[in-house]
Structure 1
Amino acid sequence: MFSGAQLSLYPMSDDFVGIITGALSALDPHRDHLRIETDDLSTLIVGPPEILFSAMRDLFVAAARSGTHCVLSATVSRGCPGEPDDPICTPAEGTLPVAPLDERIAKAVAAVKAAPETGQPVACQVSLYPLGVNQHMDEIEGCIAFLKASGVFDRPKNFCTKLSGDAGAVFATLQQAFTRFGAAASHVALDVTVSAHSPTRA
């Protein structure tokens, strides 16, 4: 299975270069488990889902601790048919589980409750795209039920769901949405925007 994220970090500051380069050190504990490639548009990180989301969390929290308005935009994908399998992407638990929706929802909620706190409040909007699944609406509705029970649900929005809370719980929620919904062997994508210190937060 291939899993990875194309992400871009946007600190709204004249010192955006310093904030970004300073935040990159937060990836150091994860580098042995990731393939990282950067160009002028985005950074690709490839690796197991539990490392992807921990790395994105740590990168974003490090940037947000600057106190400036920061945004992370990411497209996260697993099982893309256009990408080769990569051993680096194997989840710690092995292949992704297949279980009834109610069981997956309960396990996802429990995982979020166990997430470490970072002390950094964030807002997030997320959309799940379970591709190549005949019952894709069942998977989307199951994911929405999980998001509502996650403890970080804020409200539904057009085309997405808004989350808010500590970055630890929010990124854990994103990881669970990514790994527990959509068929284990199919292509699943998340569209994610995370924000901290927005002057227009509501």
Structure 2
Amino acid sequence: MFSGAQISLYPMTDDFVRVILGAIGALEPYRPHFRIETDDISTLIVGPPEQLFPAMRDLFVSAAGGGIHCVLAATASRGCPGEPDDPICTPIAGSRHDRPLAERIAAALEKVQSAPKTGQNVAAQFSLYPLGSGHHMDEIYGCIDFLKQSGVFDRSKNFCTKLRGDAGQVFATLSEAFLRFGAPEGHVALDVKVSANSPTKA
């Protein structure tokens, strides 16, 4: 299954070049399993769907770790019919994202609870788009049920859901929303913004 994300990083500092280039270095451990391309707008990462959000977490925590206000904007996609299949995108063997909603919610909650903490608090808002599914609202409502139990749910907003907590749990929650909701072989897109060290906490 083709999966990947376009990521843009916005450090609010005059020293943004050093912060961005240093953060991109956090992607080095993923390079053996990913295709990574950076230009003047964004960084593309293409690879196993289970590793997309851990890679984004490491990138963002590296950028935000110095205490500056930093924002990450990303669009993630899996199963896009307009892209070629690629061996690096094949899901981990034995992964089952086609189970009933209740089972998927329970499995997602277990993953979030076991996610390692980073020590970096973040806020995030995202929208999930399960495309081409006749029961897409069931999937969205199931995802919302999961989010409200995740431990990082902040509130519902117009057109999106807000999360807040340690980056480890927040990015794990985003990953589980991306992986477990929507048709297992269907096209799913997720739009996300993540912020750390904001001068406004509301």
Q: Aligned equivalents of 2:30 and 2:39: distance in 1?
A: 20
1:142 aligns to what? 142
Unaligned runs of 5+ in 1: none
Preserved CA contact (<8 Å) 1:33 1:51 = no
Tell me if 1:120 matches 2:131.
no
Sequence identity, in percent? 72
Preserved CA contact (<8 Å) 1:64 1:196 = yes
Unaligned runs of 5+ in 2: none
1:73 aligns to what? 73
Q: Aligned equivalents of 2:96 and 2:44: distance in 1?
A: 22
- Secondary structure, in 3 states, of the residue corresponding to 1:41? coil
Shift of 1:96: 4.7
Q: Aligned equivalents of 1:112 and 1:119: distance in 2?
A: 15
1:19 aligns to what? 19
Preserved CA contact (<8 Å) 2:97 2:181 = no
1:5 aligns to what? 5
Tell me if 1:102 matches 2:90.
no
How many residue pairs are counted as aligned between the two chains?
202
Out of 41-50 and 2-11, give the one that drifted further: 41-50
- Secondary structure, in 3 states, of the residue corresponding to 1:25? helix
Preserved CA contact (<8 Å) 2:125 2:163 = yes
Shift of 1:95: 5.5
Letter in 1 for 2:89: C
Shift of 1:41: 1.3
1:53 aligns to what? 53
Letter in 2 for 1:130: P
Q: Aligned equivalents of 1:179 and 1:122: distance in 2?
A: 21
Would the alpha carbon gap of residues 9 and 127 (structure 1) be closer, same or farther in structure 2, given more than 3 Å must change? same
Letter in 2 for 1:16: F
Letter in 2 for 1:6: Q
* C-alpha RMSD over aligned residues: 0.9
Tell me if 1:153 matches 2:143.
no
2:132 aligns to what? 132
Q: Aligned equivalents of 2:94 and 2:7: distance in 1?
A: 25
Tell me if 1:166 matches 2:166.
yes
Kindly provide the CA deviation profile for residues 6-60 of structure 1, in whole angstroms up to 9, marking residues without a partner as x.
0100000000001011112211111111100112211110011221111100000
Shift of 1:128: 0.4
1:194 aligns to what? 194
Q: Aligned equivalents of 1:162 and 1:172: distance in 2?
A: 14
Kindly provide the CA deviation profile for residues 110-150 of structure 1, in whole angstroms up to 9, marking residues without a partner as x.
00000000000000001100000001100000000001011
Out of 85-94 and 32-41, give the one that drifted further: 85-94
Q: Aligned equivalents of 2:91 and 2:114: distance in 1?
A: 18
Letter in 1 for 2:124: C
Q: Aligned equivalents of 2:93 and 2:142: distance in 1?
A: 22
Preserved CA contact (<8 Å) 1:128 1:188 = yes
1:35 aligns to what? 35
Q: Aligned equivalents of 1:188 and 1:83: distance in 2?
A: 13
Shift of 1:161: 0.3
Shift of 1:201: 1.7
Shift of 1:93: 3.5
Letter in 2 for 1:141: Y
